Structure 1
Amino acid sequence: MAMTVLVCDSVPVVRDGLKSLLSEAPDVTRVSATGNAVECLAMTRKSKPDVLITDLSPEGMDGIDFVHRVIRENAQKRDGRPGAVVFASDMTDRVIETLLRAGAITLLEKETGREMFSPR
């Protein structure tokens, strides 16, 4: 199943690395990337990605509020919502619970290795 992906991370090397890695995956048809939460919201509205990959520190907005807003806005505009994959270095119980309630489908620690994203 082909999918489109949007990456939002304020660190260029992380953002560009994920974009490059995912562009090589056979089931990914398009990868877009930004470091700014407001720009990401606009890109999400326009391109309606299947998956959003974001950290919890995008420029311009609190990460948890950002994830909640992206999911809520997309749920209103089409059937379903983008799968939100969130990664962070501080995964406290409160953060995990809040993100899952907001609708994140996967939570990863920043130390997650390449094997989690590589095609099998």
Structure 2
Amino acid sequence: MSIRIVVADDQELVRGGFAMILDAQPDFEVVAEASDGVEAVAAVLRHQPDVVLLDIRMPQMDGIQAARRVCAETSTRALMLTTFDQDDYVYDALYAGASGFLLKDVRRDDLVHAVRVVAAGDSLLAPAVTRRLIADLTARRPRNGSPAIGLEALTVRERETLGLLGRGLSNAEIAASMVVSEHTVKTHVSNVLSKLALRDRVQAVIAAYESGLIAPGSA
């Protein structure tokens, strides 16, 4: 079964380049392209793709607004396209429900890999830049000083797992740190997401920082 994709970017060359790269994969199908957020949301509602690539800065409706609608109204996973000078936008995109973000100068293989990861239900937290961005942004956002709702429901091991997620560790890295199997880690991660009503690992990272479980800059 093909991974169905919508590509949204107001720059035609960028949009077309991404679409061409993705459509060349034997298990990918680019079902639509969009030049702004309004077109992107309409395309997602019409085609119900697995993944939508959304440029953050687009006319009529920006990528953050589009991601918020897409994530609230469909099961499509949103992958944001950004540049280093858009840190605040990245933070807002994660809160909107996006499953991660890519820099617009992403390499071909990394783009393909990212779409596969997001389509599989995971999120993009591996690059060190992602950890730095989230740490920096949560440090600049005010906290209420209290743990996230439901954090007390986590077991000791689940809390430890959340802390390691907050540092951007993969399941294999978490397993090595906790000296358990990857299967056990997957169970802990699933329990954390379920108990805290989190959409994915990206939201788990934000929860780890905002609850005070992880100190900004410690990742």
Same topology, TM > 0.5:
yes
TM-score between both structures, scaled by the size of structure 2: 0.47
Structure 2: runs of 5+ lacking an equivalent: 114-219
Residue aligning to 1:18 = 18
Check if 1:106 corresponds to 2:84: no
- Over the matched positions of the two proteins, sequence identity in percent amounts to 29
The residue type paired with residue 72 of structure 2 is R
**Cα distance in structure 1, aligned partners of 2:59 and 2:38:** 8
* 1:14-53 mapped onto 2 (5 Å cutoff): 14-53=14-53
Q: What's the CA shift string for 1:10-45, capped at 9, x where partnerless?
A: 000001111111111111134311102112211111
Check if 1:87 corresponds to 2:94: no
Q: Which has the higher contact order (CA 8 A, sep 6+)?
A: 1
For residue 78 of structure 2, give the secondary structure of its aligned residue in structure 1: strand
Q: Which has the larger radius of gyration?
A: 2
Q: Is the 8 A contact 2:8 2:37 kept in 1?
A: yes
Check if 1:69 corresponds to 2:62: no
Which structure has the highest helix share of the two?
2
1:106, CA displacement in angstroms? 1.8
| Residue correspondences, number | 113
TM-score between both structures, scaled by the size of structure 1: 0.82
Residue aligning to 1:78 = none
The residue type paired with residue 51 of structure 2 is V
For residue 117 of structure 1, give the secondary structure of its aligned residue in structure 2: helix
Which structure has the highest strand share of the two?
1
Q: What's the CA shift string for 1:38-80, capped at 9, x where partnerless?
A: 1221111110010000111122113212211121121xxxxxx
Structure 1: runs of 5+ lacking an equivalent: 75-80
1:9, CA displacement in angstroms? 0.1
The residue type paired with residue 36 of structure 2 is N
Q: CA RMSD in A?
A: 2.0
The residue type paired with residue 85 of structure 1 is L
Change in 2 beyond 3 A, CA 1:31/1:95:
same
For residue 105 of structure 2, give the secondary structure of its aligned residue in structure 1: coil
Q: What's the CA shift string for 1:70-105, capped at 9, x where partnerless?
A: 21121xxxxxx211110111342x333322221111
Change in 2 beyond 3 A, CA 1:27/1:8:
same
1:118, CA displacement in angstroms? 4.2
For residue 54 of structure 2, give the secondary structure of its aligned residue in structure 1: strand
